[in-house]
Structure 1
Amino acid sequence: MGDYKLVALDMDGTLLNEQSEISTENAEWIQKALDAGVTVSFSTGRGFRSALPFAEQLKLETPMITVNGSEIWHRPHVLHKRTHLSPVYVQRLHELALAYSETWFWAYTADDIFNKEKWISPAGDYDSHHWLKFGYYTEDDSVREKLLAEVQTWGALEITNSSPWNLELNPLGVSKASALQELCGLMNIEMSQVIAVGDSLNDIAAIREAGLGVAMGNAQEAVKEAADFITLTNDEHGVAEVIKRYVLKG
């Protein structure tokens, strides 16, 4: 056994393969970690409802971090903490999206997901919703850089991504790392006892602050540079390899 008490797993590009499935190998080694008394948690940009079926598949009754840390769950369906994104900024982000008409955008509330094709009604009623996260997607690098430059000038949001082609905006100070610190307090463990595994910029802070920060073999370069260890890709069961090597070593 290693000295780690908590394994925090990103989902897309990490736990899930390119078909958005949990491989048999990953599932098997997660179960071995759980059997050994190690907590395995999701730490994802996904909302609770889209993460839940995978938690149920693995029979996880463990804490969950969703929406990049805007929600922290004691266990599925039992909420510990939710941090809202101000409607003032959602309005600004939405208006900015509309200025770049080719850009896809989406936003999470506590109850729903809205996007370019299905926006709130009435469209300007931002105050009636409990917002959590806003996102942009465009494969046009110059547009994405303009969006990023504009949002950075506000100095009011946590800016990350979950793929090289998107931007994800959370309330300032909210990240997977801040959520993991909160979780450590609940579990009475230290960040040094955490393994954080991920592939994108929304994983970097957690990877830097955890006892062991792991980048996937398919991770963005900046994530690999921040990590202590680079595992196999998400299609090569990289999560199973981490558990084998660092959690259940020997």
Structure 2
Amino acid sequence: MSEPIRFLLSDMDGTLLLPDHSLSQRTVDAVRSLREAGVLFSLATGRPSKAMLQQIEALGVDLPTAAFNGGTIVNPDGSILVAHYLPATAALTALALFVDQPDVEIWVFSGGDWLLKDPHGPMVPREQHGLGYPPVVVESFEPYLERIDKIVATSNNTELLIELEAQLLPKVEGMAQVSRSQPVFLDVTAMEANKGAALATLAAHLGVPLAQTAAIGDGGNDPAMFHVAGLSIAMGQAEDAVKRQADVVTGPNTEDGVVQAIEKYILPR
């Protein structure tokens, strides 16, 4: 008999959320039934913490949550439990690589603000809808170098992002994490800012052994927590490279895959 799951850590976009960034009532109900069964539940996302508040409230999450792929872990009262900033050298290396790419928009997240130079980029409306707040237009990213939570290169040219990921990885090895949180987003965060470290930190904070944790996600930033969790679940629409690193695969987010996973793999335990 496998161990009962006492803590589930879930990704948000592409996992808990529908493609229009909303939560289905079935998902809200399934999370409530988890908590009624005594299973702890929290969120780990590439988003900034202030872009999780609506979902935290809707789902009744009362535990610390992991933003910026685990770069910032925030207590329910808004105070910071853990913060890892991107080293300035790694930030400069990433920015220098991305700046010459005509198809790529560059976003910098610092202190909860979403900073960019061009507010008219094609990817901006989608992100503003997802985050729920507008960007701050800056002349330069230089003043923020000491406190960068995340740099994102975004483009509809997903092949280009795969190439940029391969080029950047060796340049920032040991200094930064580089992963595609969605096919159109290439995220650069601090070395310690990964969902695996976040899961381990949260489990220790909650007093739950890792063997009794589960993680569910769909993006290239999710296998970090799959490798740490006692049970790992990939979403049905995830890329094959992500699915291969999970113990089980559930339905896609368009079919309430999280609900299916909770009912099939977590509550029966």
The TM-score range, normalised by the shorter chain, is over 0.9
**Conserved 8 A contact 1:109-1:129:** no
Deviations 1:143-189 (A, max 9, x none): 32442233122212111111123211111232000011111111111
Gaps of 5+ in 2: 120-135
The residue aligned with 2:128 is none
1:246 to 1:44, Cα distance in 2 relative to 1, 3 A: same
Matched, 1:173 2:192: yes
Instruction: List aligned pairs for 1:3-152, cutoff 5 A.
Output: 3-117=4-118, 121-123=138-140, 125-127=142-144, 130-141=147-158, 143-152=160-169
Per the alignment, do residues 94 and 207 of structure 1 end up closer, same or farther by CA in structure 2, a change over 3 Å counting?
A: same
Are the structure 2 counterparts of residues 121 and 236 from structure 1 closer, same or farther at C-alpha, using a change threshold of 3 Å? closer
Letter in 1 for 2:180: N
**Cα offset, 1:240, TM superposition:** 1.0
Amino acid at match of 2:44: S
1:49 Cα deviation after fit: 0.8
Residue by residue over 1:228-249, the C-alpha shift from the partner in whole angstroms, topping out at 9 and shown as x without a partner, is 1101110111111111122221
What residue identity is the alignment partner of 2:140? A
Work out which of the residue numbers 243, 246, 250 in structure 1 matches 2:265: 246
Q: 1:76 to 1:58 in 2, by over 3 A?
A: farther
Name the CA distance, whole Å, in 1 between partners of 2:55 and 2:144.
32
Shift of 1:127: 4.8
Q: CA 1:80/1:29 → structure 2, altered by over 3 Å: closer, same or farther?
A: same
Task: Give the deviation of 1:121 after TM superposition.
Answer: 4.2
Q: Aligned partners of 1:71 and 1:29: how far apart in 2?
A: 26
TM-score normalised over the length of structure 2:
0.86
- Residue-by-residue CA offset, 1:97-151 (whole Å, 9 max, x unaligned): 2211221121211231112425764515335651111111223355324422331
Q: Secondary structure of 1:91's match?
A: helix
Aligned residue in 1 for 2:129: none
Write out the 4+ residue segments of structure 1 that deviate beyond 6 Å after TM superposition.
none
Task: Give the SS at the match of 2:149.
Answer: strand
CA distance in 2, matches of 1:120, 1:171: 23
Please give the alpha-carbon distance, in whole angstroms, between the structure 2 residues aligned to 1:121 and 1:166: 21
Match of 2:20, as an amino acid?
Answer: Q
Q: 2:231 aligns with which of 174, 199, 212?
A: 212
Name which of 244, 255, 264 aligns with 1:225: 244
TM-score, structure 1 as length reference: 0.92
Q: Is the 8 A contact 1:100 1:143 kept in 2?
A: no
Q: Secondary structure at the match of 1:162?
A: strand
The one-letter code of the counterpart of 1:55 is: I
Distance 1:150 1:62, change over 3 A: same
CA contact (8 A) 1:64 1:76 kept: no
Cα deviation, residue 96, structure 1:
2.1
Query: Taking structure 1 as reference, are residues 212 and 128 closer, same or farther at Cα in structure 2, changes over 3 Å only?
Result: closer
Which residue is equivalent to 1:201?
A: 220
SS of match in other structure, 1:14: helix
Q: Distance in 1 between matches of 2:22 and 2:13?
A: 9
8 Å CA contact retained: 2:250, 2:260: yes
Gap runs ≥5 in structure 1? none
Tell me the matched-pair count. Answer: 250
Distance change (3 Å), C-alpha of 1:79 and 1:117: same
Whether the 8 Å contact between 2:68 and 2:193 is mirrored in structure 1 is: no
Which stretch shifts more, 170-179 or 40-49?
Answer: 170-179
